[in-house]
Structure 1
Amino acid sequence: MVNFNGDIDSKDHHFFNQNNRGFRYGDALFETIRVVNGNIYFLEEHYLRLMSSMRILRMEIPMNFTMEFFEEEIKKTIKANKDAPAHRIRFVVFRNDGGFYTPSTNDISHVVEVNELKTPFYVLDEAPYEVELFKDFFVNKDMLSNLKTNNRILNVVAGVYAKENDYQNCFLLNNEKSVVEAINGNIFVVSGSAIKTPPLEDGCLNGIIRKKLISMLKDDVGFNLVAESVSPFELQKADEIFITNTISGIIPVTKYRKKQFNSEISKKLVGRLNTLARLAH
């Protein structure tokens, strides 16, 4: 079942057509959210990021679009679907039909989708996870790249490239050839006690888990975390590389080119992330 503007419909219900601006121009934003036993992980952070992104894109935010409304729309959609301990939510906001590039209205609609997750906890997958650089196209160094918009064709093509070459993921570069992020998440590069993640100014997504790990580690005397540009040359010198996103939590990279990586820091952080997520309700 799918929630369209508060109404619950079957997944095959045709609730928009070819005039939809998300389809025509990518004029849409989305949040991917983890919900466990009815508890929405990092609810406030997801809501505030969505509101900030809508303002940047000059979408009209309805008066009733409060955090309580956001939460209720998610829970309503979960209730209408198969009962499970953990769910993946995709909350999409798009500008309403009308106009060509320039919209005739800034009013918005929303869609909420639900999918079941296999585990209620963040767990590390021990399977091999090889990555490569994607160098055909580049991420722009601007604020739009920080937003979670429907304009994801670069990620799509990079995903096709990874699949064709038997990689589990690819790292995306910006126009200055700095490593920005993975196809589906932010990246962290570990060298000894130093942990580096690309800054927002380089064009990476303003990820929720990225922000949480930065906050968690900034006062940890055992680590020196910095948000600085990452050169492709640093990847093969690193002790460990991991990817973060809201659904998987932490994904350790096991191989980049000829370099094999350990996952010691990832294993230490995933438990702390689970604790943080449970306390965030």
Structure 2
Amino acid sequence: MKDYLVLISCICFLAFLIPGRFRKYLAIGGWASIVGYLLLELPYYFSINNFLYPTITILSLPFLYITAKYLLRADPRVMQLSTIAAVAFLIYAPFGYIPSLGNWLIAVVAEQTSVALSAVGYPVNFEAWNLMERNGFRTEIILACTGIQSIAIMLGVAWGVRSTTRQKIAGFLMVFPTIYILNIFRNVFVVTAYAEQWFPYLPEIAGNGEFGYESFFWAHNVMAELGALVFLVILAYGLFWLLPELGDLANGLYHLYRNEVVQIVRPKIKESEV
């Protein structure tokens, strides 16, 4: 069911790129499918003690309500936001839905991660084409470890607004090599921290019953996730400088969602005061 929701979201957003009278409904279908997927993934997120994605899931509910409300009005700001999502799906879809292409990317990233690990003095053994082992601890490289989602999202941000060909090329050069290289270093950090057991702390929070998992939890679910989030914010500011229209869009979206949240929360505050 979860995979079907991702596919439905992808189809809706790609169809949204085709001019037509039903574009706003396709965008709503795309956003609703993403939120539905996040809700169904909650048990998995909790099973690996991931706190970032459950937080995103909770925040996605008011986001969906506000976005759908303004899509029905064909508000240009949320229509542009949906265009960004559609472009991101256009970039991600070939790797996500063509197994040979996705597996090729995984294999390339796994090999380059192994080379980087050897270069810093932590060589690993391959127990399978994408399964690394060191000190008895195994780390599997999957599509989410390739950085393709972040690359697709940020290229969607860079290419989803009106810009010149030169700006699009500059956006690509700012996004793709930077995220790709940093993602290799991220993999190196996670594999090394797990294999060398750098962070065996608070098993009651970070443990899942698997020996040594705590180091993976702190390295992957906390440090790497937060580091990636901070970096993407910094990269977004770089894109704002490169694409002034993107900055205007971000400002417009901020005020739109902020004002809507204030209107939702304020009546409840007044009601509690009574």
Structure with the largest fraction of helix:
2
* Common fold: TM-score over 0.5: no
Q: Which has the larger radius of gyration?
A: 2
Band the TM-score falls in, shorter-chain normalisation? under 0.3
Could you state the TM-score of these two structures normalised by the residue count of structure 1? 0.25
